[in-house]
Amino acid sequence: VRLQEAHAAELEARVLARTQDLDKALGELTEANARLQELSQRDALTTLHNRQFLAERMPKVRGTAVRWKQSLGLLMIDIDHFKQVNDVHGHAAGDEALKAVAEVILRIMRRPGDHAIRYGGEEFLVVLPQTHAAGAAHIAERIREEVEALTVTYGGQVIPLTVSIGVACTTPGPRTSMALMLQLADRLLYQAKDRKS
């Protein structure tokens, strides 16, 4: 009987140790998966979120704005004459310009619920939940001014940078799609670019 009890206790101890090992491995795997998910939603060059993040997260952001009847601001930002930067200074200089603009955007965005996304080549998108038109316009102007004040140098040459920004703000309804809001911000961006021409 004692031998059987000792054997049962030893078996129980082994099962407990194995369970603890499995729990630890599962925790590490969950952590690694979360890190991988985060990396898959980041642009490698600028560290801003990417289009995958936009596709996965924005339905929830839009849904919250609809549910609580909150204003949602979008800034569509484009680096002016970016092709010329690449043609004159090279693609490595263009990469430095992209990183510098991304840093400005991140520095100005302070609220945890705001999102900065590298939308395309030289285009960025800033999503501003609970932000009215005046607040979104203020943030856009700060980004525009700080980018214009940047001193980006590459190969000993200064690269002057400016951005155009389309500011779209709305309180979305149930039928207001994210695609429609993005189209509006994009259209306003190109109006801003046309005014500079």
Active site residues: 122
Q: Are 76 and 123 in contact (CB under 8 A)?
A: yes
List the one residue out of 44, 48, 47 whose CA is nearest residue 116.
48
User: Which one-letter DSSP state was computed for residue 49?
Assistant: B
Which residues contact residue 151 at a Cβ distance below 8 angstroms, ignoring those fewer than 6 apart?
158
Q: How many CB atoms lie within 10 A of CB 173?
A: 9
Which residues contact residue 59 at a Cβ distance below 8 angstroms, ignoring those fewer than 6 apart?
178
